[in-house]
């Protein structure tokens, strides 16, 4: 069955395209891209809409296996499609963690049966994510992992990290580092500074991140591995990454939508939905992250989608878990903060949310719209406004500080391999 996407503005930085075209899709693949490709029985008029390569998230917590009450592969991928994503990398801090071939196979099989979009598994660096003994990185990469990470926790032992980098290089996968010195961050809840003092909450100094960014850059220089730094939050980290890139170190980095839109001040009413790790930082840091995105120091925007139940979040600040959901608000937040305020063009934003994540993963079949490739396509109505409330979310968890806010610029159609993974029924009624 053919599907025709008519008259949308294709924004595809990997192919240097920003122009109005039709796209003809057949058997899940892009068959033709051109002007006025005629009529089809199944067609969508997308005039005035932006047509992007499906968004790619390098950092998603799908929680399956183990915490299916908060998210499953089925619900998490439905939320991802709702947010315009067609590929997500599933972090291994599940219960049990994905630290063996059988775990990797479980994620791959379940996502192929129940997933709405593509799921690329990430394996743990160390067994049980304890930071001590390495996992069977080679066997897991043969089974299909695209990266290794102990995300949620840093790897404190530099010798273990060095060996992990050597293995990741040997097997051609990336190492995603959660940069946190746990001795420094211990018992901390929010950024250390005036706000933490005023609120009476124990702080996490920015140095807990900076020290590990510096160490991992040094180890990447030593080992030559492809190092990707997760959820960068401090101005000093951005400087270190900029310098490392100038010296030719093989390092890439991401920021989250929340760290570029919120600061520690947003926690003011002890809002546990603002409790994230690494914590929201200062206005100076927030601006430095955006400068990093602008000058290319920061390669991509990743969600760190971290679902938690209301019953877990509605506790004292100290007892509430770290994390907020992100897949469904990432694109409108980035549009608002970066594109509508003229800091990045729409094409640059698509680079950060699709083309660059694909090239970091070294996957040439995603992150672009091209004849012969899978039709992974996201259609955005840049003018569509929605109020974020509980009903808005397809994720099983609703722990978002953006509830009650109005955002603009939402996906209205997400195609994964030519099939509809999400469609806004109000728009296409």
State whether residue 254 is helix, strand or coil.
strand
Q: What is d(CA 196, CA 190) in angstroms, rounded to the nearest whole number? A: 6
Q: What is d(CA 384, CA 331) in angstroms, rounded to the nearest whole number? A: 12
For residue 279, the minimal CB distance to ligand DOR (Å) is 9
Q: Which of 155, 110, 108, 118 lies closest to 133 in space, CA to CA?
A: 155
For residues 88 and 357, the answer to whether their CB atoms sit within 8 Å is no
- Cα-Cα-Cα-Cα dihedral sign, residues 206, 207, 211, 214: positive
| Cβ closest to ligand DOR, residue 154 vs residue 409 | 154
End-to-end CA distance of the chain: 21
Is omega for the bond preceding 99 within 30 degrees of 0, making it cis?
no
For residue 404, the minimal CB distance to ligand DOR (Å) is 21
| Cβ closest to ligand DOR, residue 61 vs residue 116 | 61
For residue 248, the minimal CB distance to ligand DOR (Å) is 29
Write b or e for each residue in 400-413: b if 16 or more Cβ atoms lie within 10 A of its Cβ, otherwise e. bbbeeeebebbbbb
Instruction: For 326, list phi and psi in degrees, rounded to 5.
Output: -145, -20
Name the residue with tokens 């997308």. Answer: 46
CA 203 to chain centre: 25
| Cβ closest to ligand DOR, residue 130 vs residue 406 | 130
| Cβ closest to ligand DOR, residue 147 vs residue 349 | 147
Could you list the residues that contact ligand DOR (CB under 6 A)?
A: 61, 93, 151-152, 178, 276-277, 304, 306, 322-323
- Partnered with residue 406 across adjacent β-strands are 387
For residue 376, the minimal CB distance to ligand DOR (Å) is 26
For residue 184, the minimal CB distance to ligand DOR (Å) is 16
Q: What is the β-pairing status of strands 377-387 and 50-53?
A: antiparallel
| Cβ closest to ligand DOR, residue 130 vs residue 247 | 130
For residue 94, the minimal CB distance to ligand DOR (Å) is 9
For residue 107, the minimal CB distance to ligand DOR (Å) is 15
| Cβ closest to ligand DOR, residue 82 vs residue 308 | 308
Closest residue to ligand DOR using C-beta atoms: 323
For residue 407, the minimal CB distance to ligand DOR (Å) is 21
Tell me if residue 304 is catalytic.
yes
Q: What is d(CA 25, CA 324) in angstroms, rounded to the nearest whole number? A: 36
Work out the angle at residue 76's Cα, subtended by the Cα atoms of residues 75 and 77, and round it to the nearest 5 degrees. 95
| Cβ closest to ligand DOR, residue 223 vs residue 325 | 325
DSSP 418: T
DSSP 405: -
Q: Which of 61, 51, 53 lies closest to 327 in space, CA to CA?
A: 61
| Cβ closest to ligand DOR, residue 51 vs residue 210 | 210
Residue among 151, 285, 304, 374 flagged as catalytic: 304
State whether residue 166 is helix, strand or coil.
helix
Q: What is d(CA 13, CA 3) in angstroms, rounded to the nearest whole number? A: 23
Q: Which positions are catalytic?
A: 304
């Amino acid at each position: 069955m053919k599907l025709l996407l008519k008259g949308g503005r294709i924004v595809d930085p990997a192919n240097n395209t920003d122009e109005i075209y039709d796209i003809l899709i057949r058997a899940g693949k892009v068959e033709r891209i051109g002007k006025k490709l005629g009529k089809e029985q199944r067609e969508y008029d997308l005039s005035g809409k932006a047509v992007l390569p499906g968004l790619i998230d390098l950092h998603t917590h799908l929680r399956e296996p183990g915490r299916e009450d908060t998210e499953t592969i089925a619900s998490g991928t439905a939320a991802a499609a709702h947010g315009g994503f067609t590929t997500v990398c599933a972090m291994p801090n599940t219960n049990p963690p994905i630290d063996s071939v059988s775990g990797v196979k479980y994620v791959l099989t379940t996502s192929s049966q129940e997933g709405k979009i593509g799921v690329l598994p990430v394996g743990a660096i160390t067994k049980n994510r304890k930071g001590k003994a390495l996992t069977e990185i080679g066997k897991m990469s043969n089974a299909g992992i695209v990266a290794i990470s102990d995300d949620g926790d840093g790897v404190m032992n530099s010798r273990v990290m060095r060996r992990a980098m050597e293995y990741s290089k040997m097997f051609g996968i990336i190492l995603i580092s959660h940069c946190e010195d746990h001795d420094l961050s211990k018992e901390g809840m929010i950024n250390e500074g005036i706000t933490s003092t005023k609120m009476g909450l124990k702080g996490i100094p920015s140095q807990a991140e900076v020290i590990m960014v510096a160490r991992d850059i040094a180890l990447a220089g030593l080992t030559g591995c492809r190092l990707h730094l997760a959820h960068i939050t401090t101005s000093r980290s951005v400087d270190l990454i900029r310098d490392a890139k100038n010296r030719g170190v093989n390092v890439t980095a991401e920021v989250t939508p929340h760290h570029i839109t919120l600061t520690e001040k947003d926690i003011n009413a002890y809002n546990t939905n603002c409790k994230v790790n690494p914590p929201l930082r200062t206005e100076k840091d927030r601006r430095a992250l955006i400068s990093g995105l602008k000058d290319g120091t920061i390669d991509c925007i990743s969600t760190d989608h971290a679902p938690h139940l209301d019953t877990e979040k509605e506790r004292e600040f100290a007892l509430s878990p770290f994390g907020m959901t992100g897949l469904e608000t990432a694109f409108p937040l980035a549009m608002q903060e970066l594109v509508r305020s003229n800091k990045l063009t729409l094409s640059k934003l698509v680079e950060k949310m699709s083309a660059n994540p694909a090239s970091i993963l070294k996957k040439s079949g995603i992150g672009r719209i091209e004849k012969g490739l899978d039709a992974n396509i996201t259609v955005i109505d840049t003018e569509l406004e929605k109020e974020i409330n509980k009903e808005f979310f397809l994720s099983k968890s609703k722990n978002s500080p953006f509830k009650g806010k109005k955002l603009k610029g939402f996906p209205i159609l997400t195609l994964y391999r030519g099939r509809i993974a999400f469609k806004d029924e109000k728009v296409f009624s």
